[in-house]
Amino acid sequence: MEDRKLTVRAVERALDILMCFTKSNELGLTEIAGQIHLHKSTVHRLMTTLEEKGFVARDAATEKYRLGLKVWELSTYLSKSDDPAVLFLPAMERLRDRLGETVSLYLRDGKDRLRIQAVQSNQDIRRVAQVGARLPLYVGASSKVLVAFASKDDQQELFRDPDWPDMPDPDGYLRTLEEIRERGYATSFEEREPGAAAVAVPIVNRNGVVAAALSVSGPVGRISTGTLHEFAPVLMEAAREMSLMI
């Protein structure tokens, strides 16, 4: 009987730890221990188990923890009504009909972005966006949004990664990220893909964390840099509506 009580208590504590990440996407051992009022040694043992099972991941450089991919794997079995790819689809279709161009939805996955939904333009000449495509996080309008609105710690982790490319103008890149945060959107013009232009905005959840990037893209023969800036307020309005759903 006592062993069963201890096992339940351990499960409760592990769940309490996971719930800490609803307030911050990266936490140290001391921060977690303080939030759930447990000794650091107890939290360390629980974190070791959660890490081994893939529910949390530890940054060796900072010794901080973040949610692991197992949480994402479980989320794929959520009710479809909770799936952003399904939840946001009607709004994305309305946005496509209003602007006439392809609309895409991206999530960040580590050092990449993943296109989880796309609504194709109805025009004869259009940019076709493949759902499931994995793209680098260092180039493109949606990538810049996901990096610009990430926490400073997240940004530094990306920049320190050996796979992150050397920027020709690092200071200029940082200024660009700051400008994106100030105006609320990012643009790209043949930046990642020749002949394609895009504008992207963040979708922010109720905790103030960027949940996804919403973009509109099309061929440069039809979309100028001026068009991208004209699209931005419409896209931001749609993103605010989506934010109310999550």
Residues facing residue 13 across a β-bridge: none
Percentage of the chain modeled with pLDDT above 90:
61
Rounded mean pLDDT of 96-125?
A: 91
Residue predicted with more confidence, 93 or 7: 93
Quote the percentage of the chain above a pLDDT of 70.
94
Dihedral angle sign, alpha carbons of residues 145, 148, 154, 156: positive
Single-letter amino acid code for the residue at 108: R
**For residue range 60-103, what is the model confidence (pLDDT) as tens digits?**
889 999 999 888 777 666 555 567 878 899 999 999 999 999 99
The encoded tokens of residue 121 equal 């333009």
For the record, the structure tokens of 157 come out as 């982790």
**pLDDT at residue 3 is higher than 50:** no
- Give the whole-angstrom CA distance, residue 176 versus residue 141: 11
pLDDT at 243 over 60: yes
Virtual torsion, Cα 129, 232, 106, 60, nearest 10 deg: 140
| SS3 track for the chain | CHHHHHHHHHHHHHHHHHHHCCCCCCEEHHHHHHHHCCCHHHHHHHHHHHHHCCCEEEECCCCEEEECHHHHHHHCCCCHHHCHHHHCHHHHHHHHHHHCCEEEEEEEECCEEEEEEEECCCCCCCCCCCCCCEEECCCCHHHHHHHHCCCHHHHHHHHHCCCCCCCCCHHHHHHHHHHHHHHCCEEEECCCCCCEEEEEEEEECCCCCEEEEEEEEEECCCCCHHHHHHHHHHHHHHHHHHHCCC
Q: What pLDDT was estimated at residue 1? A: 41
**The pLDDT value given to residue 168:** 79
pLDDT value at residue 4: 45
- Kindly report, residue by residue over 185-230, the tens digit of the pLDDT: 999 998 888 899 999 999 998 888 899 999 999 999 899 999 999 9
Residue 47: pLDDT band with limits 50, 70, 90:
very high
Q: Give first-to-last CA distance, the chain, whole Å.
A: 41
Mean pLDDT of the chain: 88
Cβ neighbours of residue 104 under 8 Å, at least 6 residues apart? 115, 117, 118, 119, 129, 142, 214, 215, 216, 217
Residue 141 confidence (pLDDT) above 60: yes
Residue 2: its pLDDT value, please?
A: 41
What are the phi and psi torsion angles at 223 (to 5°)?
-120, 120
The amino acid present at 19, given as its one-letter code, is: M
pLDDT in the model for residue 178 = 96
- Give yes or no for a contact between 56 and 68, defined as CB atoms under 8 angstroms apart: yes
Among the residue ranges 8-17, 18-27, 168-177, the one predicted with the least confidence is 18-27
**Residue 35 or 4, more confident:** 35
